[in-house]
Each structure stands twice: as structure tokens, then as C-alpha cells.
Amino acid sequence: MTNSKLFSAAKKVIPSGVNSPVRYFEPYPFFTKKANGAYIWDAENKRYIDFCNGYGALLLGHRRKEIIQAVATQLAKGTLYCTPTEAEIELSKLIAKNFPSIDKVRLVNTGGEATMTAIRLARGYTKKKKIIKFEGCYHGAHDSVLVKAGSGSAHNGISVSDGGLDEVSKNTLVVQYNNIDDLQKTIKKNKDIAGVIVEPILANMGLILPEKNFLSDLRKITKENNIPLIFDEVVTGFRVAPGGAQEYFGIKPDITTMAKALSNGFAIAAVGGRKDIMDLLSPGGKVYQASTFAGNPVAVSAAISSIKTLNKLRNKLYSKLEKYNLLFSTALDDMATDMGIPHQINFTASMFQIFFSKKPVTNYETSKKADAKKFQKMFRTLLKKGIFIAPSQFEVVFLSDAHTENDLNKTLDAYDAALKSVKN
């Protein structure tokens, strides 16, 4: 069947034809048949080099052999027990070893569940109500964080969702990213702050880097005011370093959430942190949290294998991807400059994004001002040329270990054509 026919059929039984909003793009998304390594194939057997990579999850590429083997071994032993397993201890130890700020870990299934739990923990710990989040940061699709959020909600122009309660969102205070004065003022004005949640690298408004001292000042101020600091490392955990952005920048938050690159393509997430905070979780503590599929043995086996692989490769993988990214982003920058296209390229580790904007992109406002129509034009040309990036300027281009130099050279050629299509 063609992608177009599948989309017509999907729309009849699935709202807008997709199971997550960012998957939709005009006129219709392609339907995936299979994926392997750096590539993804659609229903019409067209092959794309994948740079969406499960929104960053697939740091090791599709169907990485170590992980597939570990999962196959587990499948022979069962898929769901709903009892504790030894493997959960092993995984929690691996996470705690990679993230020195973490003493204890609770496993959940999605990033949104992890941030929901982290925020409830912060409230339970401080016995306070209000949460500070930063404009453009995306922490999942639940009420207390779906306020001026990035990702699909920015793409679809939704600031607070219909059906979300004002009573909930009024307890979420929103502060400008990279603006410590704004944070300080908000903390001074409000006595009732339970926690601050932040993406240490903002990867849901395109890519926005923390300015020098932003994260260290954030840590200092929250500590001085006894406010738990939550690092939402759902994207950055394992992706920018085996110990996440907190290793990369040398900063210790009180609570951490992680998900995407934790298991290289299985549904698992984690919330971890200081022992005195984590021990508030039920049944020992009074902060309730629960899930049937939490710590299921299939996802746990994938996560163990993924972390072990990353730890083994740590000296090679991260520097290789950083080098590829530097070469790619610099070449792309030169290309756009030579064509006289006003643009910004933000990049770090294995992530980058181009914005069609004259001004540097450092926060929600400057990202929103970038020319989204031009981005869509570029996206469509890239797709035609067999390059799949996430279909929004508010997402990020993710490199994986499976990309070869040859893949990247082909991709650069496609960007050349795509930028020309933007110019005309």
C-alpha cells in the first residue's frame, strides 16, 4: 500500500492518523515498514537515512546487535512478571554508577511518567506547591508541565492544552531559559516553591544551549533557597555523556529523569536522586507512584545491555559523534552562508539544529521567531532526497553510532539541495 492510502485508512481509526502529534506532517507522514542501523524504510520501500532516531533514543542505531541479543534471551524467559527481579538491581546500580547524583532509582515507562513522579517527589519532600519550569522546555504531556512547553505543543501553537486544569497550571511558574535574573525574581516573589525543573540542554525548541554559568548559577540559587533541582535528562541522559548533561557540565541535581537513550529503543524511563528524597516513594514513603509495566524484564534487559555497551564504548563513541557533528554543522553553516541565507546553527555532542533566523537562538522567543515555513520547505526536500529528520524546527537532528561518513556526506548533499529550495 502507498503512504497516502495508509494515511487515509489510519485517519478513520486513529485521531489525525498518528499516535503522537509530532509524527504528523503535511500532506501526510510516511508509514514505516522496518528499520535497521542508520536506515528506515517506508511502505513504498523507499529508504531514508534516519536522523529522527526515535527522538534521540537510538544513540546506537536501530536493531543494535548487543541489545537485540539481550532482549531475545529475555523473551525466552518471559515478558512480564510484576514481581521484583535481580535485573532491576543491576540496572539501578548501573544508573547510579553513571550518575553520581543518584543514590536510588525508580523505574517507570515513559519520560512523562518520570517527570510527573519527580515533581510529585519534590512536592512531597518540601510540602510546597509551586513548580518553576523554563519557557520552551518540554517535560511530557501532563498538566503541570504542559505550560509554554516545546516540542509538538510549540509546533501546534498550544500553550496550555484544552482539558488541562487552570488550577493545576497556575501552580507552574514559567521563567525564561538562560535568564538567571528572571529565576531569581520569581524565587524572591514566591515562598511556595517545591522545585525547579529544567532541560540542562534545551532539546525541544530546536536545540538551545545553556549559556555559560546558567546551570551552575541555577544550582547555586536553588541550593541557597533549599529548592530541589530536577534535571530532566530524558534527551541528554546517556546521549551527551554516559552520565548525561550532569557529567558533561559537572553539576549535581537533586532529582534526575531519564528515558530516551536509556534503552536504545524500548519503553522504559527512570527517576533517580538523593536517597532521602527517593525514599519518600511508596510503599515505604507517602509519595504514591505505581505502574504495571514498570521494570518489565524486556525493557530492563535492553537498558542494561545499552548502558553496558555505552560504557564500553565511552572513550570512542562520544568523541567520534562530537567530531562528526562539528564537521557536519560547520559545513552546513558555510553552505548556508555562501547561499546568503540568514540562519543559526546550534550544536553540541551528537545533536544539532538549523534555524532560519538572523538573530542567535537562545530561548523560547528567539526560537519561535525563526522561519518555520522555510524549515518545512527544507524538511520536505530532505525527505524527497531520502533524509528523515524530525518534521519540526522545534525538534533536534540526532546522530547515531550507525551513521557512517558516507551517510553524512550524502546527507550534506541533500541539505545543499534543501537549502537551495529554501532560498528560491
Residues in touch with ligand PLP (CB under 6 A): 55, 110-112, 115, 138-140, 199, 203-204, 232, 234-235, 259
DSSP 3-state of 208: strand
Q: Which is nearer to ligand PLP, 118 or 422 (CB)?
A: 118
Query: In the bound complex, what is the minimum distance in angstroms from residue 300's beta carbon to ligand PLP?
Result: 16
Query: In the bound complex, what is the minimum distance in angstroms from residue 268's beta carbon to ligand PLP?
Result: 9
Concerning whether 232 is annotated as a catalytic residue, the answer is yes
Query: In the bound complex, what is the minimum distance in angstroms from residue 19's beta carbon to ligand PLP?
Result: 11
Q: Which listed residue (130, 133, 148, 260) is catalytic?
A: 260
- Here the cell at position 333 is 553553516
Query: In the bound complex, what is the minimum distance in angstroms from residue 347's beta carbon to ligand PLP?
Result: 17
Q: Which is nearer to ligand PLP, 173 or 258 (CB)?
A: 258
Query: In the bound complex, what is the minimum distance in angstroms from residue 217's beta carbon to ligand PLP?
Result: 21
Are the beta carbons of 141 and 110 closer than 8 angstroms? no
Q: Which is nearer to ligand PLP, 174 or 259 (CB)?
A: 259
Q: Which listed residue (125, 138, 177, 248) is catalytic?
A: 138
Concerning whether 318 is annotated as a catalytic residue, the answer is no
| 144: alpha, beta or left? (left if phi > 0; alpha if psi -120 to 50) | alpha
How many C-alpha atoms does 100 have within 13 Å on its Cβ side? Answer: 8
* 42 alpha-carbon distance from chain centroid: 24
Query: In the bound complex, what is the minimum distance in angstroms from residue 236's beta carbon to ligand PLP?
Result: 8
Q: Which is nearer to ligand PLP, 55 or 364 (CB)?
A: 55
Q: Which residue is nearest to ligand PLP (CB)?
A: 111
Concerning whether 138 is annotated as a catalytic residue, the answer is yes
Q: Which is nearer to ligand PLP, 234 or 422 (CB)?
A: 234
- Here the cell at position 146 is 504542559
Are the beta carbons of 360 and 310 closer than 8 angstroms? no
d(CA 130, CA 194): 5
Element (H, E) at 39: strand 39-42
**Radius of gyration of the CA atoms of the chain, in A:** 21
C-beta pairs of 215-221 under 8 Å, 24+ apart in sequence: 215/245, 215/249, 215/251, 216/249, 216/251, 217/180, 218/180, 218/183, 219/251, 219/252, 219/253, 221/180, 221/183, 221/184, 221/187
d(CA 404, CA 386): 15
Q: Which is nearer to ligand PLP, 110 or 381 (CB)?
A: 110
- Residues annotated catalytic, as ranges: 138, 232, 260
